[in-house]
A and B are shown apart, each in its own frame.
Chain A
Amino acid sequence: MFRLEARTSTPAWFNLALPLLAIAATLVLCSGLIAIAGAGVVDAYGVMLSASLGDSYAITETLVRAAPMIFTGLAVAIAFRAKFWNIGAEGQLLAGAVASCFVGAIPMPGYLAMLLMALAGAAAGALVALVPATLRVKFKVDDVVSSLLLNSVIYYALMALIEGPWKDSFSGYPISPPIEDSANFPVLMEGTRLHLGVIVALIAAPLCWFLIARTTLGFRIRVTGENPEAARYGGINVQRVLLSTALLSGALAGLAGVGEVGGVHFQVMSDISPGYGYSGIVVAMLARLNPLGVVPAAIFLAAVMTGAEAMSRATGVPAFLSDVIQGTALLAMLVALLFTAYRIRRVGAPA
């Protein structure tokens, strides 16, 4: 017989071991689905691996997919540190995409356009995140619900935009006009889609780590998240910290949208994000809310996404498996987090 017993402390290596454990458990659990779909488990995972990380082109594709999830992962990680439950990274991403597309369509010198796109996208994401944060601070509205529901509001506003004023008058497709060619983010490797935004995302992670670990704002975010009462008693303006966190978090999610417009799609359409905002939650949880952990976690999910498509072509297992893996990984991680607070003990059979 086994039982759970409260732990007094959590060893540091758990931060690495738990996500790996969760990923391993996920792959084992999902292998059942692969088998049901009639493919060899080892073959299928082999195709996934080689298609996502097998050669340099595959790696760049995975990185391009990872970039928006690095941003949304950082957005969620920072918000959750303050216990601002931002489930709205998806909407903030879309808002960032729309704002940067507006700016990118205005003719101006390339680098100025890119800078202004980034600023506009970050500002739009931040403003969207400010809504649930303000509702919580002023009226005690549950931020999980308000930030989640706001995603639909933003999504349908985007749809209204591309079905209405932005609609392509020639083709009739519901897509926005493209941004100026000069505003397209430079490609860093000939023959690939690896764009400047990916590098910015990779740099953003250590910057966010520095912010959380080494600045007074980061200190206040951590303390507020862990114990708002002690934070207030210690002289921290808890409401201001929550609003600052929301702005920061929303800006990061907005940047995810900027990268997709400037580096990948060069315009806005209804499926510009396949749920990168929600994936950010999985990324942040796998990273245990550590900004540095967000990068490998985002690359893992990106590899699953790119790999799943190739696997689908090669073995006939539906590419939806990537969504299943994502969901399972989140659940497995949440279960694995149990081990930070409890240990399993064997006890003798009851008398």
Chain B
Amino acid sequence: MSAPLIEMRGITKSFGAVKANEAVDLSVAPGEILGLLGENGAGKTTLMNVLFGAYAPDAGEILVEGRPVAIHNSADALAAGIGMVHQHFHLAPRLTVLENLLIGIPGKSGRIDRARGLARLNEIGRQYGLSLDPNLPVSALSVGEQQRLEIIKALFRGAKLLILDEPTAVLAPSEVDGLFAALRSMATQGLGIIFISHKLNEVRALTHRCVVLRHGKVAGRVDHPAQTTSAEMAKLMCGHEIVPPTKEASSPGAAVLTLDGISTSGHAGTPLRDVSLSVRSGEILGIAGVSGNGQRALADVISGMLPPRAGAMTIAGKAVARFSPRELQALGLGRIPEDRMTTGLVTNLPLADSMVLPRIGTEAFSRKGLLNPAAIRAFAEEQIKAYDIRCPGPMVRAGALSGGNLQKALLARELAFDPKVLIVSQPTRGLDIGAARFIHEKFLAMRAKGCGIIVIGEDLEELLMLSDRIAVMYEGRIAGTLPSADATVARLGLMMTGAGHTEEAA
């Protein structure tokens, strides 16, 4: 057997008292796709940051093709043949595809060697089936194409091992198939791939072998992921069995949220065009669609961030007049934003501050302009306990929490005041199974209490599991609405591409 492409031996890395990685061994052979699984905070990202040179390990060594190497920064990593595709892309949007590829690559006597770059780009395109128009600016690329560019960038720099950190989180189902095909083709041509994901079905479909991390240590290794059930892998990740939540039958009541002919303009994303829909009390309405088809505008209108150009909206029977976040909250709307870090929370301030933010002016937390610190603290402590938010306390910097705990904190702040309607975007993106399960249960409990919920998401299986009805968005319109009993991934997938309109009363 040939030497592994990359071998990590006994990697240990601590942050203060917390051991993010402890004696982790991992290796990837040429032509192998290795799955790296683990809940949030299990140490996957730390381990990959050690491999890519962002952190220096406290102990352990890294071997490339059998030789020990010291990796101090990303340049060392690239020189050792390690390429990484981060969750957040590192591209210059105003430069073209080719220019982005050539950033940091020395040219001939101070001039950029476009011809050689172009030749190399075509070669990569032929070899792995990854092609892009070299002259398009990055800002004109879709998210999936930007990801492809990141992969090409790594290959362009001679990567023999490619690390992909949750690459499918930003992709539509059809794009995922394309990515997998490219990854398989790269593996058959001798590249090694480390694939980080939470989605067990993807890991089972793609990888040859899996390493599961839990609390910074290797909790288990799976040699034949395709023959292992998701439940077994989930158990390795969490340390206990995961049972999917059961959805009770519910009898939806009166409409708690209606949109009538809403159109928008002046928004960064796709605008809404004549969108009408309604959610009834005790009902979950799923909004499916390939990202960038107006979901962002829909969430922004409903949460009060974007006043519509035309159309009307009601909450609990009352017409919305000004579309300000404060007015909508007062009418009984709860909201979980798509981007918890930038829209939901204030990462540099104590967690308690973020948890009371929307209601800071109410009697609960202040009187006559004076804060009630004791009440704020008590509320935060109570919610931390009730939602099992793992953190040192309410005064910890919110940004120090993991994604799952942040999402719980946001959920706690909205649900504490019994909203009549809840709008959530990508509620479990980036969360591990345990946290996602917790969020799902809370939604179903709110549904049972008569709350109307809109879930905007890209994970069709999640939408099918939660929703009573699913509406599909395409190019800023509602392309159709199906009861979830009649919906399948295949049928929704077809509607998401704009084909097979199914007009029913929304």
Contact = CB atoms under 8 A, between A and B. Distances in A.
B219 to A, nearest CB: 23
Contacts of B360: 216, 219-220, 234
A152 interface: no
A9 B329 CA distance: 33
Interface stretch (A17-25, A44-52, A342-350): A342-350
Contacts of A233: 303, 305, 325, 335, 337, 343-344
A214 B376 CA distance: 11
B19 to A, nearest CB: 13
A79 B303 CA distance: 29
Nearest to B358: A234
Contacts of A229: 342-343
Nearest to B49: A6
A230 B345 contact: yes
B47 to A, nearest CB: 16
Interface in A195-230: 214-220, 222-223, 226-227, 229-230
Contacts of B337: 233
B165 interface: no
Contacts of B324: 235, 237
A216 B357 contact: no
B397 A5 contact: no
Contacts of B396: 9
A235 B400 contact: no
A215 B346 contact: no
A223 B346 contact: yes
Nearest to A233: B343
Interface string B318-358: 00000011100100000101000011111111000110011
A235 to B, nearest CB: 4
A320 to B, nearest CB: 38
Contacts of A348: 70
Interface stretch (B85-93, B193-201, B366-374): B366-374
A173 to B, nearest CB: 47
A189 interface: no
Interface in A223-270: 223, 226-227, 229-237
Interface residues of B, number: 39
A3 interface: yes
Contact of B353 (A1, A217, A219, A350): A219
B303 to A, nearest CB: 7
A226 B341 CA distance: 12
B397 A9 contact: yes
A218 to B, nearest CB: 8
B305 A232 contact: yes
A215 B70 CA distance: 52
Contacts of A351: 68-70
A9 B400 contact: yes
Contacts of B343: 229-230, 233
Interface in B42-78: 55-56, 68-70, 72, 76
A9 B347 CA distance: 11
A8 interface: yes
Contacts of A3: 56, 72
Given A214-B370, A217-B369, A230-B345, A222 B70 contact: no
A199 B303 CA distance: 48
A349 to B, nearest CB: 9
B498 interface: no
Interface string A1-19: 1010100110000000000
Interface string B359-392: 0110000100111010000000000000000000
Given A229-B342, A233-B344, A215 B335 contact: no
Contacts of A345: 56
Interface string B286-303: 000000000000000001
A232 B371 contact: no
Contacts of A5: 55-56
Contacts of B56: 3, 5, 345, 347
A216 B326 contact: no
A1 B397 CA distance: 31
Contacts of B353: 219, 222-223
Q: Which of A234, A235, A351 has the most CB of B within 10 A?
A: A234
Given A220-B360, A234-B357, A234-B358, A8 B370 contact: no
A227 B373 contact: no
Contacts of A215: 369-371
A290 B308 CA distance: 41
A224 to B, nearest CB: 9
A230 B325 contact: no
A216 B371 contact: yes
A223 B397 CA distance: 13
A226 B346 contact: yes
A346 B16 CA distance: 15
Contacts of B373: 214
B371 A230 contact: no
A230 B72 contact: no
Nearest to A227: B346
A229 to B, nearest CB: 5
A5 B46 CA distance: 13
Nearest to A217: B369
Given A219-B360, A223-B349, A347-B56, A234 B70 contact: no
Contact of A216 (B335, B347, B348, B361): B361
A118 B369 CA distance: 24
Nearest to A230: B346
B326 A8 contact: no
Contacts of A236: 357
B482 to A, nearest CB: 31
A219 B352 CA distance: 12
A230 B369 contact: no
A214 B370 CA distance: 6
A168 to B, nearest CB: 46
A235 B358 contact: yes
Nearest to B372: A214
Contacts of A237: 324, 326
A351 B397 CA distance: 38
Contacts of B16: 8
Contacts of B369: 215-217
Contact of A235 (B15, B326, B348, B366): B326
Interface string B395-419: 0110010000000000000000000
A144 B361 CA distance: 31
Contacts of A216: 360-361, 366, 369-371
A229 B340 CA distance: 11
For the complex of A and B, the 7 pairs showing the least CB-CB separation, nearest first, are A235-B326, A234-B357, A351-B70, A234-B358, A227-B346, A235-B325, A226-B346
25 contacts: A3-B56, A9-B396, A9-B397, A9-B400, A218-B371, A219-B353, A222-B353, A223-B353, A226-B346, A226-B349, A227-B347, A230-B344, A232-B325, A233-B343, A234-B325, A234-B357, A235-B326, A235-B358, A235-B361, A237-B326, A345-B56, A347-B72, A350-B70, A350-B72, A351-B68
Interface of B: 15-16, 55-56, 68-70, 72, 76, 303, 305, 324-326, 329, 335, 337, 342-349, 353-354, 357-358, 360-361, 366, 369-371, 373, 396-397, 400
Given A216-B370, A217-B369, A345-B56, 17 more contacts: A214-B371, A215-B371, A216-B369, A218-B371, A219-B353, A219-B366, A223-B357, A227-B342, A230-B344, A230-B354, A230-B357, A234-B358, A235-B324, A235-B329, A235-B357, A348-B70, A350-B70
